[in-house]
Amino acid sequence: MTSQYAESVADAPRYRWLIHVDLDQFQVSVERLRSPELVGVPVIVGGNGDPTEARKVVTCASYEARDAGVRAGMPLRAAYRKMPDAIYLPLDVPAYDVASAEVMSVLRGLGHPVEVWGWDEAYMGVDAVDGEAPAGHDRIGIGDLALRIRTEIFDRTGLHCSIGISDNKQRAKMATGFAKKPDPAADALAPFRIEKVFLLDELNWLPLMGPRPCRDLWSVGPKTAAKLAGHGVDTVEELIATPRENLIGIFGPHQGNWLYVLCRGGGDATITEEPWLARSHSKSRTYPTDMTDAAEMRAAALELTEDLLGQILSEEREVFRVAVTVRTTTFYTRTKSRKLPAPTTRLDDIAPVISELLGNFEIERPVRLLGVRCDLVMPEEGDEEES
């Protein structure tokens, strides 16, 4: 942690404000956009959607499932014992890739540098302090920007997010925790009242975090917390009172110095932007009337494919692999893919493969959702192998 922090400070621009954007129950939310009747229903995403399969874990659980004790990383079998009546869905990585890319595009469109940390998480830097004068956002102004971010993401993608604001990534990440779960003690120290947005900086850090256990510091795991407790350090205030030399003696120079910085609210104030280009585009649709006729399904899949190709042609990209996703009325969801003989943008080349993939499904129930994905050739990359 410390070495990465030092490298980023040396190599990347620093910002007065770091905004942490965290999409709420991301995979579940994407599935609910495709199947709105899942709203309010316990949904658990993981593996291939079979909760009895061994060695598979929960990737995302809806808030309803979390209230029953289901957590990400829990074995699917354990989740099933807790909630046998929940809806279990397989991971649909390409769909999540596309949804995430749409959100990140919204963030980049706001004119501030963005550092992506995963499907559902990113940092935005506001008011550079190196090389240019700050734009002058005060605490209320940065709150207004956070509200705009939440509104833009929802209006453009239908996804909700929580936002933490601070002057570094670590403190902004902790602020997001307060944004997700209302806390009367924390709210009393907040500089403004915006749903799902919280600002944590030098003015409310010590009153809010001081009495809390060291485990509440982001990146302090159970082993580190237990080791601190063994030396009589249980709270953030007690950690602040511990001399740097003592921490180095206990944890070594890297972790000891990091804990000394972290407990005082310090962290990484840089943003590293990386060029981004979509690896695929996909489109799915939940139909108002369930489909049972093969010809009707082929026509629906062709319409989705035509919509996708219009976008791909506008980007001057080529398709090298296609995939079809089918979801039945029982929420059985499967995807089949095939590599094309050669990269193309011609509908006449792609449509027969889509039709053949659709015919390969053993569909025993009416179909309520169809999806089509086109994997795209990346610049300066060779063709990928068929999956």
Beta-sheet pairing, 87-89 with 43-45:
parallel
Are 7 and 27 contacting, i.e. CB atoms less than 8 angstroms apart? no
Residue 11 identity (one-letter amino acid): D
Residues catalogued as catalytic: 121
- What residues contact 325, with CB distance under 8 A and at least 6 apart? 92, 95, 284, 333, 334, 335, 369, 370, 371, 372, 373
Q: Contact, 88 vs 50, CB < 8 A?
A: yes
d(CA 167, CA 179): 16
